[in-house]
Chains A and B, each alone.
Chain A
Amino acid sequence: MLQPTGKISRLGTLKSLLQRFAFLSLIVATFALMLIGKADTVLVERARIAVTDAVTPILRIMSEPAAAIADVVANFRELGAIRRENAALRETNSRLLQWQSVAQRLESQNHDLRALLSLVPEPPAHFVTARVVADTGGAFAQSIIVTAGQAEGVAKGQVVMSGEGLVGRVMQAGQNSSRVLLITDINSRLPVLVGESGTRAIMAGDNGGRPRLLYLSTKTAVAPGDKVVTSGDADAFPIGLPIGRVARTDDGAIEVEPHMSGDKLLYVRIFDFGLGNTMADATVRK
């Protein structure tokens, strides 16, 4: 009778030993992965692209209900404010009609002046519209996954915009999906122009909703409410894309309230401005 009990206890010990060995091996594997992530970014990037491409169809289905609920809530909200909004729109419309005539006059004048100077026109920007299917990272990273990839002409480094303003840049482009690094991510650094004076600065994300302005050439020239736009330096972005407004300028830190809201992105446009594409070049050089 004693034999089976002994066998069972030996099996139990063996199982627990195996479990402990598996645990230790996997812990070592996590540290190895951290090192690989630091050392071989190309390999990790390929793995991320492959996994993202594979999972995007599932994420697309999973994001449908949330998008549908958001649509219904937005519809109800709009219904409540429809009268007020209508009046405001009428007023805006009459104002915009005046601006339209001004713009038409300026456009024809601009056209004449360009012809006079024999100016070579900038190539038109191409864009694709894609749906946001994942909003990843939480408190540790700020990126989104969208449903357009190399098959639609998306490439690393391209500029991503929403209706409100700049959203970020394409960080990885898979076959049918892409990851976009948001301007609020802690790894995001953008050259920007602030206010009417065009003070140069670098806008740095911190994973919160409000990125900060660093390395301002003149701090005193910046006030809350000042417009923040891309500067076009380093060929990363075309000049003048709207980003947001200066929100706070106290205790040495200047925060920017972006026009785009990372929480409400449903669709984004990915632009190919035909720029130097510094992000893509950096990968090629490796």
Chain B
Amino acid sequence: MQPTVLQRMDALARKLVPFGLTLGLMLFALTPMQVPGLSHVTPMYSLAAIYFWSIYRPDLIGYGTAFGVGLLEDLLSGAPLGCSALVLLLCQYLVFRQPKFFNAKPFGVFWLAFSVLALGAGLLKWICVGLVAPGGFTRFGDMFTAVLLTAAVYPVIAWLLAKAQIKLLVQP
């Protein structure tokens, strides 16, 4: 039996869930939080989302998502074009290359692996922005704090995305 238009739209909407939520988290990072000191060290929420979906739903997230979200992040944040996209793409590549490592491991291992990945991502973005931006290198300490915060908020983001996955992506 051919799927109806509604069914097809439903299937398409489900496919777009990871992209939509990653985009939402990237925009959330730009929202003013009115918390003193936070704007210099905003966590890399989009990286956490890309990591999560690349592990749990690699079928629904491709390199195009990482590239698109990264490009939009650069365009909106005023950072040099291409840097976020490069970082997200490389992180996704690393996760995709290690399916055995990420197979049925306890959450602590995922968290630890993400923390190491976030440090690498922070360093790479810091070097990339420093080399490309006319103003040169930004403060290393701010980047490092942002990495620590990113690692610290990962369990919350993973929990939220897992809830979303169960609610929206697991077929009834």
Contact = CB atoms under 8 A, between A and B. Distances in A.
A139 B62 contact: no
A138 B78 contact: no
A186 B27 contact: no
B85 A26 contact: yes
A66 B82 contact: no
Interface string A48-63: 1001100100110011
B106 interface: no
B160 to A, nearest CB: 15
A27 B89 contact: yes
A143 B40 CA distance: 11
A187 B157 CA distance: 32
Interface in A46-83: 47-48, 51-52, 55, 58-59, 62-63, 66-67, 69-70, 73
A187 B82 CA distance: 18
Which 3 residue pairs across A and B have the least CB separation, nearest first?
A186-B135, A138-B42, A33-B82
Interface stretch (A155-163, A247-255, A261-269, A274-282): A261-269
Nearest to A189: B135
B108 interface: no
Given A23-B89, A30-B85, A66-B32, A171 B78 contact: yes
A266 B128 CA distance: 31
Interface string A180-211: 01000111000000000000000001111100
Contacts, number: 178
Contact of A48 (B41, B70, B75): B75
Most chain A CB within a 10 A radius of its CB, from B31, B32, B77: B32
Contacts of A36: 81
Per DSSP, are chain B's interface residues mostly helix, strand or loop, or mixed? Answer: helix
A38 B30 CA distance: 24
Interface stretch (B2-10, B111-119, B139-147): B139-147
Contacts of A142: 39-40
A185 B135 contact: yes
A88 interface: no
Given A51-B72, A187-B133, 13 more contacts: A30-B85, A52-B76, A55-B76, A62-B31, A73-B34, A136-B76, A137-B77, A137-B78, A138-B41, A138-B43, A186-B136, A206-B138, A263-B36
21 contacts: A19-B96, A22-B63, A23-B93, A26-B63, A27-B90, A30-B86, A33-B74, A33-B81, A38-B132, A48-B75, A62-B31, A70-B34, A137-B42, A138-B40, A139-B40, A139-B138, A140-B77, A140-B126, A141-B133, A187-B133, A261-B36
Contacts of B83: 30, 34, 140
B166 interface: no
Contacts of A145: 30, 76
Given A132-B32, A187-B133, A30 B78 contact: no
Interface in B32-60: 32-44
Given A19-B63, A22-B63, A63 B79 contact: no
Interface residues of A, number: 60
Nearest to A29: B67
B69 interface: no
Contacts of B30: 59, 134-136, 145
A87 to B, nearest CB: 26
Interface of A: 19, 22-23, 26-27, 29-34, 36-38, 44, 47-48, 51-52, 55, 58-59, 62-63, 66-67, 69-70, 73, 132-145, 171, 179, 181, 185-187, 205-209, 261-266
B29 interface: yes
Contacts of B36: 261, 263-264
Contacts of A47: 75
Contacts of A171: 78
A135 B64 contact: no
A51 B34 contact: no
A207 B138 contact: yes
B140 to A, nearest CB: 9
B121 interface: no
A263 B38 CA distance: 7
